[in-house]
Chain A
Amino acid sequence: MRVGLFIPCYVDQFYPDAAKATLQLLEKLGVDVIYPPKQTCCGQPMANSGFEHLAGGCNELFIKNFAEFDYVVAPSGSCVLHIREHLHDDKNPEVAAQLSSKVYELTSFLTDVLKVTYLPAKFPHKVGFHQSCHGQRGLHLSQMSELVAPGFSKPGSLLNMVEGIEIVPLNRIDECCGFGGTFCVVEEAVSAKMGKDRVEDHLEHAAEFITGVDMSCLMHMEGILNRKGSKVKVLHIAEILNGE
């Protein structure tokens, strides 16, 4: 099995540790992972802003970089959802369709493809888990509080394999953090307020760390935590699952 590693643009530029942890975790689990160096972005920033027609260059690049792999894995629910729903190529529609179905968010790749049941990880801390909307409601990584249906959580089941971790409860288990891509600047007032409220829920339950499957939500909450002068840190879930 050859797996292409897709590291979203802002993770590449600002959160290389999350990317390294993703790579190391997959290697630790015996996966043959390759990072194509000419990758950039999934195209979501344009598409969610109404400029999907300008995402063609990103689509082409994505297909060029990743079409040959058996699977593509990325540490981001949001980018994966965008690829799954919107990757297209007018010249080769079948190639694009086939590729988009092979793209996995990291935790679902671990639970659904690798069927991981054990992780040699240790993280003796109180952790708040942020359910990122696109992963949860878009990729169905965990059950949604609005539905009448049995509960489950793919990232949650992996976190439970980590020795010593204590997941703190939250008042609102799956409220959005307010990042929302360009929403965070276009609708700055509401976005910042949503972020403050989301962070407060974690702090109220004495979380030492906030984790999740999307670095973008975590980046938003980190910006708010730092502005408050809080000592609470954000960590991508890969960094915890890869913890020694």
Chain B
Amino acid sequence: MNIDVKDHAALSDVFNEDEDRVNWHDETLWWIRQKRDKAVNQLPEWESLRETASQIKNNVLSYLSNYLQQFEANATKNGIKIHWAADAKEHNEIVLGLLQSKQVKQMVKSKSMLTEECHLNEFLAENGIDVIDSDLGERIVQLAKEPPSHIVLPCIHKKKEEIGELFHQHLGTPAGNADPQFLTETARQHLRETFLTRKAALTGVNFAVAATGEFVVCTNEGNADMGAHLADIHIASMGIEKIIPERKHLGVFLRLLTRSATGQPITTYSSHFNKPRPGQEMHIIIVDNGRTIQLGREDFRNSLKCIRCGACMNTCPVYRRSGGHSYHNAISGPIGSILAPNLDMEKYADLPFASTLCGSCSNVCPVKIDIHQQLYKWRQVIVKNGYATTAKKASMRLMSFTLSTPSVYHVGGKAGRWVLKHAPFAVNNKFNPWYKHRDMPEPPKESFGEWYAKNKNGR
């Protein structure tokens, strides 16, 4: 494995140097998990809703190309221009081409994790186009020159004092002011100016309806609407998996999405876009970027059912204590850990191991993705493809030999216990990661096997 590749364990180690921050991060996300629990428990039909959503998505994945073509035909009929992008590069170039054709130098963007995945902002900046993220959380991380650490709560890792400092530096608020209401009002004025002056807007797509050729964008701040309604050109970027067959299926997904994400019954704005207003251009870029490869991986295709609610992150005990940036990928947390290795197995070889396989992620998932099972399966694939360290390979071979040979196991166990008892310094040192924060178990004078042989044998 390339040692230059950033690794989840090393990044989490850094995050954990400030224990108070870890506690605060953990408690904030756990509070959202509890809000989610309260909201879902109000619906006795919750588990059947999850099952229904999962079945709809299974159907979508099985007939994906049909639905996409149906969507293209209907959207085109509505006056929307459809573009197809095989990968991130093509997506970014299509966006740039559209902006250049309109001689636009500035664009307002509403939260789209797909554009994060494609690194669109950096690409446009290199080409002289200024992008402002209009979602408050996104704007904050943009000012901090950081990627989002969570797909729904992009600046959940930042305390209000840090945001106050950022606003002081960039938006001219008084130093030391960290009053959330004041800061939000400042952001509102700042963004209003942006909405009124930008000629181009880009939004994400939460759901695209094949039967009608329309798409739905969910936000709590109304920022997608503000940007898109005022712009002369509206570009929507969607992954191929965002398609749903019919409008009536929205009734299932809109009920699941925000309850899972934040514990709200529904997003404040669930806006339907089905045709450009007179004089406006509307474009949709349908992006693959590795998704068809994942669709072809039988064990992992279910990951494409994801509706990006972030519930798996909020519930994940590892995510809560390592922070989103430790996943070094646009999509962090458990779902990111099963999506990322598909994009680059070597770069993200660490992520499927950043889990205790506790299974909580699979249980909260509103579309029933078997996340923890896929983490287990990715581990096997990653090791088989050679992305395990030499030391790990050697220790696993030794362990396998010892545990497959009872005589070696018995001698080894006895020797191990002897060392712990008589030479604890051989184990209790800084080279033993267990010992750093935990004591080793007290070795008993005999194993159960030895006791059984003495006391119970001959039965």
Binding site for B on A (CB under 8 A): 7, 9, 11-17, 19-20, 23, 34-35, 37-41, 43, 45-58, 60-61, 133-134, 137-138, 144-149, 172, 174-176, 178-181, 183-197, 219-220, 222-224, 226-227
Shortest Cβ distance from A180 into chain B, in angstroms?
Answer: 3
**Given contacts A12-B447, A148-B46, A223-B440, is CB(A48)–CB(B406) below 8 Å?**
no
**Given contacts A9-B409, A222-B441, is CB(A57)–CB(B16) below 8 Å?**
no
Q: Does B220 contact A (CB under 8 A)?
A: no
Binding site for A on B (CB under 8 A): 8-9, 12-13, 15-16, 19, 22, 26, 30, 37, 40-41, 43-44, 46-47, 315, 317-318, 321-322, 352-360, 362-364, 376, 379-380, 382-384, 388, 392, 396-397, 399-406, 409, 413, 416-417, 433-434, 436-444, 446-449, 451-453, 456, 459
Q: Is the CB of B400 within 8 A of A146?
A: no
Q: Is the CB of B12 within 8 A of A187?
A: yes
Q: Is the CB of B417 within 8 A of A13?
A: yes
Q: Is the CB of A146 within 8 A of B434?
A: no
**Using Cβ atoms and an 8 Å threshold, which residues of chain B touch A43?**
403
**Given contacts A183-B356, A189-B12, A192-B438, is CB(A148)–CB(B43) below 8 Å?**
yes
Q: Is the CB of B380 within 8 A of A52?
A: yes
**Using Cβ atoms and an 8 Å threshold, which residues of chain B touch A47?**
376
Taken together as a complex, chains A and B put the C-alpha atoms of A194 and B316 apart, in Å, by 11
Taken together as a complex, chains A and B put the C-alpha atoms of A223 and B9 apart, in Å, by 21
Give the 7 A-B CB pairs with smallest separation, nearest first. Answer: A57-B404, A180-B356, A223-B438, A50-B383, A50-B379, A192-B437, A146-B363
Taken together as a complex, chains A and B put the C-alpha atoms of A54 and B397 apart, in Å, by 7
Q: Is the CB of B440 within 8 A of A46?
A: no
Shortest Cβ distance from A90 into chain B, in angstroms?
Answer: 16
**Using Cβ atoms and an 8 Å threshold, which residues of chain B touch A187?**
8-9, 12, 318, 353-354
Q: With A14-B443, A224-B437 given, name 18 new contacts (CB 8 A).
A: A13-B413, A14-B442, A15-B444, A16-B451, A35-B448, A46-B403, A49-B383, A57-B401, A133-B357, A134-B359, A137-B358, A144-B360, A174-B360, A175-B317, A190-B318, A194-B356, A195-B437, A227-B439
Q: Is the CB of A172 within 8 A of B396?
A: no
Q: Is the CB of B409 within 8 A of A40?
A: yes
Q: Is the CB of A196 within 8 A of B437?
A: yes
Q: Is the CB of B405 within 8 A of A57?
A: yes
Point out the residue from B379, B404, B436 that lies within 8 Å of A48, measured CB to CB: B379
Can you list 8 A-B pairs with a CB-CB distance of less than 8 A? A23-B456, A37-B452, A40-B403, A40-B406, A57-B401, A137-B363, A145-B37, A176-B360
Taken together as a complex, chains A and B put the C-alpha atoms of A37 and B451 apart, in Å, by 11
Q: Is the CB of A224 within 8 A of B364?
A: no
Taken together as a complex, chains A and B put the C-alpha atoms of A185 and B453 apart, in Å, by 33
Taken together as a complex, chains A and B put the C-alpha atoms of A17 and B406 apart, in Å, by 21
Q: Is the CB of B451 within 8 A of A180?
A: no
- Across the interface, name the chain B residue whose C-beta is closest to A195: B438
Q: Is the CB of B400 within 8 A of A57?
A: yes
**Given contacts A176-B360, A188-B436, A223-B434, is CB(A60)–CB(B396) below 8 Å?**
no
Taken together as a complex, chains A and B put the C-alpha atoms of A13 and B47 apart, in Å, by 42
- Across the interface, name the chain B residue whose C-beta is closest to A18: B448
**Using Cβ atoms and an 8 Å threshold, which residues of chain A touch B401?**
57
**Using Cβ atoms and an 8 Å threshold, which residues of chain B touch A51?**
383, 388, 396, 400
Shortest Cβ distance from A112 into chain B, in angstroms?
Answer: 20
Q: Is the CB of B382 within 8 A of A50?
A: yes
Shortest Cβ distance from A30 into chain B, in angstroms?
Answer: 15
Q: Is the CB of B399 within 8 A of A20?
A: no
Q: Is the CB of A146 within 8 A of B322?
A: no
Q: Is the CB of B9 within 8 A of A186?
A: yes
Point out the residue from A20, A46, A194 that lies within 8 Å of B396, measured CB to CB: A46
- Across the interface, name the chain A residue whose C-beta is closest to B437: A192
Taken together as a complex, chains A and B put the C-alpha atoms of A191 and B318 apart, in Å, by 8
Point out the residue from A15, A184, A185, A190 that lies within 8 Å of B322, measured CB to CB: A190
Taken together as a complex, chains A and B put the C-alpha atoms of A46 and B402 apart, in Å, by 12
**Using Cβ atoms and an 8 Å threshold, which residues of chain B touch A20?**
448, 451
**Given contacts A11-B448, A144-B363, is CB(A54)–CB(B400) below 8 Å?**
yes
Q: Is the CB of B22 within 8 A of A53?
A: no
Q: Chain B CB within 10 Å — which of A48, A55, A61 has the most?
A: A48
**Given contacts A35-B456, A133-B356, A179-B356, is CB(A12)–CB(B12) below 8 Å?**
no
Shortest Cβ distance from A98 into chain B, in angstroms?
Answer: 22
**Using Cβ atoms and an 8 Å threshold, which residues of chain B touch A148?**
40-41, 43-44, 46-47
Q: Is the CB of A16 within 8 A of B434?
A: no
